[in-house]
Structures are given as structure tokens and as C-alpha cells.
Structure 1
Amino acid sequence: MTLAQICLLVSCLLPMGCALLAKSKGFGKRRREGGFDNHNPRAWLAGLEGWHARAQAAQGNSWEALPVFVAGLFVAHQHQADAATVDALAVGFLAARLTFIGLYLADLATLRSLAWTTGLGLSLALFFVR
């Protein structure tokens, strides 16, 4: 498995990690006591506040960022791009996404937007690497 493929796998798991963080507020509690409601999960998640709500938003954004990264890796592979360059861009993307999630949880909006932009730029760069 290449480094870029490992980054892809981790990136695919990031949304689920964010979901786990969001739902952690309900761990160990019964549904009637405010615990996670698997019968009506969207309504329960919509009622979250603070960093739990931001973790849920980060989950959605992680899903949104994934297709551009996947497509970029696909195009780079089709072009038989330099593996070291692709690996570096993939590591950069993953680092930007992890930073984005941390900044989202910490409610640092401006820095979070910068991390998001960096990740998008790295994904787009994969389309042009040779």
C-alpha cells in the first residue's frame, strides 16, 4: 500500500471519527436520559450544541471534501504522476483535514477556513501533477 493510499483510507475514516465524537455526548446514557437516539438519529444530532455540534458539522464537511481528493488521486494515478509528489500532496491533504477538524472542534473559524482552503488546494493540485 502506498503512502497516498494510506492517506486515502484514513481520509475515508475521518467522517466516521467525527460522527463518533459528535455522538459521544450520548454514550453511557439511556435514550430517555438524553443518550443517543438510534430510532431518530438526525433529530438527536440536530439538537447538539457546542463542540459536539461542531463535530457533527465536521463530519458532513469531511464527506464533502472526500470526492475531490479521491478524484485527484485517480487522475494523478491515470497520469502516472511521480509517486513521491502524489504522496506528499496526499499527506498534506490529510494533515490539512486533521487540522481542519481540530480547529472546527475548538471553534477557531478563520483558521479552520484556512485549513479547509489548504486541503482543497492540495486536492486540486493532484489533478495537475505529472
Structure 2
Amino acid sequence: MNVFFGLIPDTAASAIWAMVVASLLPLLMALSAKALGGFRLTDNAHPRRFLQETTGAAARANAAQQNSYETLPVFLAAVLVAMLFFVPQLIVNVLAWLYVLIRIGFCIAYISNLATFRSILWTLSMACPLMLFYLAIRVSV
């Protein structure tokens, strides 16, 4: 069965793809930070220093990158635990892709300097892995 007009299949591959996309999001934010900050090939000698010295949208993209790395382990663990404890795959997939979509919105809000909206999206994104952990606990009891 497909949900959301056939966009999210009920196979484990869908959750795995969500994990891949979520894992690539910090890289996308790093590239965005560098592009917005005017990164040049000569800056590659000290890329972290370059990113620390950026301001405005570039600095916010770098912060979005860092936050993406901070939340990623919780998300990856939650998806794996939910699958390990046989939470229905369709539910795992929906929550996994919802996390990814919310995190993309979070990054856009961060770069756009929409602080309150960004905080709301962060909270909603963290609700997805927490719900996966909760469901895994419920299934295992």
C-alpha cells in the first residue's frame, strides 16, 4: 500500500533512503554555507576557519549544518530501532520522511533568519524520532 498519493512506499528501502537523504543534508548545508560566504579554492587550506569567519546567511547555513549533524544520530538510531522492533514499516517510513522534510524546512528557515519558525520546526523534527522510539517501546512490551 502507498500513502501520500504513492509518494511513500511501505518497503524498508524507503526508510533507508530517508536515512541517506538525512545524512546528506549536513553536506548540502556546508556547501550552501561556502557558496553564500564566497568560498574560493584557496580557502580550502583552512575551511573551518573560513566557515567560522562567515556572517549572515553563510553563518546561519553553517549553523544549520552543525545542527543537522547534532540531530542525525538520534534520527538514525530511532529508524533502526523502530525497524528492529517491527514497528509497522509504513509508519516508520512516514515518520522518517516527515523528519527529512521538516529538517529541510528547518534549514531553509535557519538560512532565512526565521528564528521562531526554525525553533518550531526543530521541535517538530525531533518529535519524529522520539515517536519512533515510543512506538518501538510499545511494540516490544
TM-score computed with the length of structure 1 as normaliser: 0.90
Deviation digits for residues 89-128 of structure 1, max 9, x if unmatched? 0111011100100000100000000000001011111112
CA offsets 1:34-79 (integer angstroms, 9 cap, x no match): xxx1212221111101111100000000000101101101110111
Match in the other structure for 2:69: 63
CA distance in 1, matches of 2:98, 2:51: 30
Task: Give the RMSD, CA atoms, in angstroms.
Answer: 1.3
Letter in 2 for 1:111: F
Residue 26 (str. 1) matches residue 38 (str. 2): yes
Q: Distance in 2 between matches of 1:30 and 1:46?
A: 17
Spell out, residue by residue over 1:15-43, the C-alpha distance to the aligned partner (whole angstroms, 9 max, x if none).
0000000111335x463xxxxx1212221
Consecutive unaligned residues of structure 2, counting only runs of 5 or more, are: 1-11
Match of 1:8 among 11, 19, 39: 19
Q: Distance in 2 between matches of 1:48 and 1:99?
A: 22
Identity of aligned residues (%): 40
> Who is 2:83 aligned against?
77
Runs of 4+ residues deviating >4 angstroms? none
Partner Cα separation in structure 2 for residue 110 and residue 4 of structure 1: 29
Paired letter, 1:11: A
CA distance in 2, matches of 1:128, 1:43: 40
Amino acid at match of 1:4: A
Query: Of 101, 104, 113, which residue of structure 2 is paired with 1:98?
Result: 104
- Normalised TM-score (structure 2): 0.83
Tell whether 2:124 aligns with 1:118. Answer: yes
- Quick one: distance in 2 between partners of 1:64 and 1:106? 20
Equivalent residues in 2 for 1:45-56, closer than 5 Å: 45-56=51-62
The total of aligned residue pairs comes to: 124
Which runs of 5 or more structure 1 residues have no equivalent in the other structure? 32-36
CA distance, structure 2, for counterparts of residue 39 and residue 67 of structure 1: 29
